[in-house]
Amino acid sequence: MLNRIHHIAIICTNYSVSKDFYVNKLGFKILAEVYREERKSYKLDLAINGVYQIELFSFENPAQRPSRPEAAGLRHLAFEVDDVESVIEELNAKGIETEPIRIDEFTGKRFTFFTDPDGLPLELYQS
């Protein structure tokens, strides 16, 4: 019935800061960018390796959504990487702080967390 995840939508509080973060720091490719005057809202479509998409939205005064500790709802967004340490080094060089590397107790895989400009928890998970 369901084929795959089509996109993930993120609402940011500062469009230019978040656009810079996802495009210039994380390296996602811009597919389309539109400004919707009636909503005073940007919509930026971003590609991740040509497979998945993130829709980055801006709205005037979006409501705050709790994300920690363990609030109900979407917990985090995880990105698969080949080498978690090399990605951490690259993110840290761009001024993005990451948590210490942890080991998944069930799979033995290495992972860590960092946040986007609005505090959305993002995970790096080594394949």
Q: What is the pLDDT of residues 42-63, one digit of tens each?
A: 999 999 988 879 999 998 888 8
pLDDT of residue 122: 93
**Summary mean pLDDT of the chain:** 91
- CB 122 within 8 Å of CB 111: no
Would you mind telling me the total number of residues written for the chain in this entry?
127
pLDDT of residue 75: 78
Q: Number of H helices and number of E strands within the chain?
A: 2, 8
Looking at per-residue pLDDT, the higher value among 65 and 62 belongs to 62
Q: What is the maximum alpha-carbon separation in the chain?
A: 49
Is 0.75 surpassed by the pTM of this model? yes
Residue 124 confidence (pLDDT) above 80 = yes
Q: Which sign does the torsion angle of CA 96, 97, 101, 107 carry?
A: negative
What is the C-alpha to C-alpha distance for residues 69 and 75, in angstroms, rounded to an integer? 10
